Structure 1
């Protein structure tokens, strides 16, 4: 793939959830929603499912409830893995990929054609223990650079680095099954780029990265595997989510 690849990134909030969105869920999603006991997690799942269906429905020209999705765990085969678009290999939409993320009150979905996509957002909270999180997340070089910064700026720097790493690992479909220490990215205040690659992932592909900030505070990153450049079409999805099923 040459030239910047376009990715739509839709952002909504936990507070956008409402009972009318339940009509958009398929039976598997509804069962998982009903089985989730924590209210906040249940709400994030509902908004994430609805937002995925709204974003994909716009691209496919389908009502959100009719968007064909499947979830298959790569380890056990159960219906709780990463959601994928369930279309035949010969379909004109077989090259569509999407990624869902949520943290705190923020929920996001990225949709792309022609490249694998990963999206991550991290809630910026005062209570993050960077000293505990950094050893398992950062390479030795990244940790040294982090601690060379003033203490007041370390949390923001760590979260920016982390969103880049997790976005790439999500785009690859491996998530945290691969240690993020082996994936080295550029400094938080430098243009986003992958500098080091985990050996266990094989040859390094083209990876495009773009950074965002949600609500002026929360760092987010989107990664595309298969292209070296990213063009982001950012959407505020809150009105769209509120419009379905009687919300708002």
Structure 2
């Protein structure tokens, strides 16, 4: 039996962003950065790009600024699809995959080889309307279990844990919300993470592996692997590395 697949998960924070990181952006990323109106969203995008290149650069033995990335939408061909490592098919790194997430003040990048990876983190928010969000994301069975939770104050945490698992799987598949999350049923929030029901429209169910995390004691997060039988997590706090990057100077 194949053992668990190693996954590096690098974490940084919105506050780690600074002007020196702009040197890491390619022209497409710089255009997106400049076009983003909200300052926090702009900062999360910048840190996410920098963190991706720092993590991948270590694995590839390249300076972060030399890590080749591309974004191509599978539907229209535009430069806004899932970010990928731009290496030839015959490259020794062609089996390397990564996934980026950001929520609130947290930014994360998961990297692995030999499997497709998806990473999602969420933020507890006083203004989150679970009653509105849950029916869109949860199956009838999951929704009934959520409503049965007592006290009701624990429902947000349960919902976010379930949501991070689903979103991580959908991101690993590269389908995002093109598939209804209601069709993907996962285990109860207090049970080991697993996919219980697989959407028929996605075809045969592949090997899947999930792992849960909590970042900074407040952000539920999950990582999913498609094409693996287990996850061996290696979490790294990269805030200092991001904050110290000097733009190649």
Q: TM-score range by the shorter chain?
A: over 0.9
Q: How do 1:14-163 residues align onto structure 2 when only pairs under 5 Å count?
A: 14-150=14-150, 151-163=152-164
After superposition, the C-alpha distances for 1:85-139 in whole angstroms (9 at most, x for unaligned) are 0000010000000000001111000000000000000011121111000111000
User: Aligned partners of 1:105 and 1:65: how far apart in 2?
Assistant: 24
User: Aligned partners of 1:2 and 1:90: how far apart in 2?
Assistant: 24
After superposition, the C-alpha distances for 1:152-187 in whole angstroms (9 at most, x for unaligned) are 110000000000000000000000010000000000
What SS does structure 1 have at the residue aligned with 2:81?
Answer: coil
Runs of 4+ in 1 over 3 A off after TM superposition: none
User: Aligned partners of 2:69 and 2:87: how far apart in 1?
Assistant: 8
User: Aligned partners of 1:37 and 1:140: how far apart in 2?
Assistant: 38
> What RMSD, in angstroms, separates the aligned Cα atoms of the two structures?
1.1
User: Aligned partners of 2:168 and 2:219: how far apart in 1?
Assistant: 15
Report the TM-score when normalising by structure 2: 0.97
After superposition, the C-alpha distances for 1:176-203 in whole angstroms (9 at most, x for unaligned) are 0100000000000000000001110000
User: Aligned partners of 1:75 and 1:43: how far apart in 2?
Assistant: 27
Q: Could you tell me which runs of 5 or more consecutive residues in structure 2 were left unpaired when the two chains were aligned.
A: none
Report the TM-score when normalising by structure 1: 0.98
Contact persistence 2:22–2:247 (CA under 8 A): no
Shift of 1:246: 6.3
- Aligned residue pairs total 247
User: Aligned partners of 2:77 and 2:236: how far apart in 1?
Assistant: 33
